[in-house]
Amino acid sequence: MSNRVAINSPAPDFTLTDWQDNPITLSAYQGQNYVVLVLNRGFV
């Protein structure tokens, strides 16, 4: 089974932590015109 999201469909809600370990939930930004996600793979 694939976990992919179809193009032009709403993104599923998820929660990640920011750089200070505060939880950030995508649904908190619902209704905003733009949401930019930067997913850092870490530092080497």
Question: pLDDT digits over 10-30, tens only?
Answer: 888 999 888 899 999 999 999
Instruction: Give me 2's structure tokens.
Output: 């694939």
13, HSE (Cβ side, Cα atoms, 13 Å):
7
Residue range(s) defining the domain that contains residue 22? 1-44
Tell me the pLDDT band of 3, cut-offs 50, 70 and 90: confident
- For the chain, the domain total comes to 1
**pLDDT at residue 9 tops 80:** yes
